[in-house]
Amino acid sequence: MKNLSRILLVITALAVCLPVVAQKKRVSSPAKASTSSASGKYGVVLLPFEAEYFADDASALYVMASRYDDSNILVAIDKKTGEVRQALRDRNLDDEEEMRPFVTGMGCTSDSLFLACRDYGIVRWDGKSIESSARVVDYKAVAQAIGGNVRNIVKLTFSPNGRYMAALGEATYVFDREDDGRLVTWTTGTDRAVVDDSGQLIAADSKAVYFLPNQKGSFIKDSFRRRLDNAASRTFEQKNGDFDQHKRGEIVFLAVDKDSVLHMAMGRRLFKMRTDGSTWETEAKLNIAPNTTLERFVSNLHNAWGQHSGEEDHFVEWAKDDLGGTPTAYGQLVTDVPDVMNYDKTKPFKSYNVSYPYMDREGNLWAFTNCYRVDVVVLNSGGIVGYNVLKGKFLDRRK
């Protein structure tokens, strides 16, 4: 069996909420985090592969091996117990002639996991095998409709009502799940897009947000771009129409909620607007360190965590219902979980770096980190929600 990279997966819950009400008074600079913590706020899992993707439904959080890892392993972590099980076994163990389809991406509704499989299609996972799972999208049929091959998909995202599924990657596709998986729209590739309840695709790059209505065969063009206007326009756009990236940063977050409100984080602000074409409004002015902008921002529209461009105390989390208030800031993620992989097993697990941060439906933050090995650690002020056996523990699940 091929030697596999050791990856540490650390979970933590961030009890901070995205505001939809008036902002509280802000102070001049973020407060530094306390180095003390209570058991149950962190957990660590050591997995037998290099991981890259997260997704979660109501019952489990799923972790997939990197796209560059031939094992293509998928594990599921039970949300109640925290037990780790292998959902898709090592692909290298299959006979070459009977090797299962390679999973390139995944995504979840509240009750189901969907897997995008190269040269095969998209399946609704039945918990057993790809071949026994219902194929909701057949790539051969899609290829015939568009007159070309289906490109690799790395992420699946769904409209709030669950009807529409957007497949994101080297190309972008929108499917109607209530119409036998009919292809609604396809366009150029993106990894940052959402789909609303009408089937409208909303995509973002570093400079703009694009709106692509529900119509077959459309491609993103300038005519679909809705420029930020009024105060937001003056904040983000220079005379040439491009966002002022140096002063205001780039778009780092995009989400749509069940009320058809679009949320966007950029620079030092969180904006919102209705997906039917109203104007951008400031939802919150983010009180991060002076002369910095957001580089990462994750949220489930109730909880949030971010990282800004400053060199010191660049990780930030906000108190519950107070994204307009003063965030807690810290320069490294320090847990209260003993690092059992360290020669000194009494030292806490900690890291300066974070990769692929992801927030689940309960508001727990999952991430990978890189220090002397591929590790992860995140801080939480509210305690892990669910995952009982992981709370305050370091689990070795390489076997």
Whether pLDDT at 6 is above 90: no
Predicted local distance difference test score (pLDDT) of residue 151: 85
In a domain, residue 230? The reply is: yes
pLDDT tens by residue, 40-70: 788 888 887 777 889 999 999 999 988 888 8
What CA–CA distance (Å, rounded) separates 330 from 313? 4
Token pair listed for 73: 């392993």
Predicted local distance difference test score (pLDDT) of residue 97: 67
Mean pLDDT of 201-225: 67
| pTM across the whole model | 0.83
Mean pLDDT of 188-215: 85
Question: What is the domain-level CATH number for residue 217?
Answer: 2.130.10
Position 81, amino acid: T
Position 21, amino acid: V
Of 15-29, 120-134, 216-230, 379-393, least confident by mean pLDDT is 15-29
What CA–CA distance (Å, rounded) separates 353 from 207? 26
**Range ranked top by mean pLDDT from 37-46, 231-240, 305-314:** 305-314
Predicted local distance difference test score (pLDDT) of residue 28: 39
Whether pLDDT at 208 is above 60: yes
Residue pair 240/251 in contact by the 8 Å Cβ criterion: no
Whether pLDDT at 234 is above 50: no
347 lies in which domain range?
A: 7-390
Whether pLDDT at 254 is above 50: yes
In a domain, residue 397? The reply is: no
Mean pLDDT of 78-98: 86
Beta-carbon count within 10 A of 160 CB: 18
In a domain, residue 351? The reply is: yes
Closest CA to 198 of 143, 234, 232, 159: 159
Residue 380: pLDDT band (50, 70, 90) is low
Average pLDDT, the chain: 78
Predicted local distance difference test score (pLDDT) of residue 297: 93
Q: Give the CA distances from residue 238 to residues 207, 232, 234, 276, 285, in Å, rounded to whole numbers and listed in that order.
A: 11, 12, 8, 25, 20
Position 158, amino acid: F
Residue pair 265/294 in contact by the 8 Å Cβ criterion: yes
Residue with tokens 């609704």: 124
Would you list the DSSP string of 170-238?
EEEEEEEGGGTTEEEEEEEEESSEEE-TT--EEEE-SS-EEEE-S-TT----GGGB----HHHHHHHB-
**Range ranked top by mean pLDDT from 151-165, 278-292, 361-375:** 151-165
In a domain, residue 152? The reply is: yes
Predicted local distance difference test score (pLDDT) of residue 218: 53
Position 49, amino acid: F
Token pair listed for 294: 């957001």
In a domain, residue 335? The reply is: yes
Q: Output 186 or 154, whichever has higher pLDDT.
A: 154
Closest CA to 236 of 249, 226, 225: 249
Whether pLDDT at 216 is above 70: no
Of 93-102, 292-301, 303-312, 371-380, least confident by mean pLDDT is 371-380
User: CA torsion sign, 282 to 283 to 287 to 290?
Assistant: negative
Of 56-60, 134-138, 150-154, 230-234, least confident by mean pLDDT is 230-234
Whether pLDDT at 236 is above 80: no
Residue 26: pLDDT band (50, 70, 90) is very low
Distance, C-alpha 396 to centroid of its chain: 24
What CA–CA distance (Å, rounded) separates 39 from 32? 20
**What is the tally of structural domains in the chain?**
1
Whether pLDDT at 4 is above 80: no
Predicted local distance difference test score (pLDDT) of residue 35: 39
Q: Give the CA distances from residue 83 to residues 221, 345, 358, 373, in Å, rounded to whole numbers and listed in that order.
A: 46, 23, 19, 24
What CA–CA distance (Å, rounded) separates 127 from 87? 7
Of 78-92, 122-136, 198-212, 220-234, least confident by mean pLDDT is 220-234
Position 107, amino acid: G
**Range ranked top by mean pLDDT from 64-73, 100-109, 276-285:** 100-109
Predicted local distance difference test score (pLDDT) of residue 122: 97
Please state, for a pLDDT cut of 70, what percent of the chain lies above it.
77
DSSP code for 125: -
Closest CA to 351 of 315, 381, 387: 315
Closest CA to 296 of 365, 349, 371: 365
In a domain, residue 399? The reply is: no
In a domain, residue 395? The reply is: no
Whether pLDDT at 73 is above 50: yes
What CA–CA distance (Å, rounded) separates 92 from 325? 50
Whether pLDDT at 156 is above 90: yes
Predicted local distance difference test score (pLDDT) of residue 161: 95
Mean pLDDT of 286-309: 88
Predicted local distance difference test score (pLDDT) of residue 221: 42
What CA–CA distance (Å, rounded) separates 214 from 165? 12
Q: Output 82 or 164, whichever has higher pLDDT.
A: 164
Mean pLDDT of 231-254: 49
Residue pair 57/72 in contact by the 8 Å Cβ criterion: no
Predicted local distance difference test score (pLDDT) of residue 295: 93
In a domain, residue 396? The reply is: no
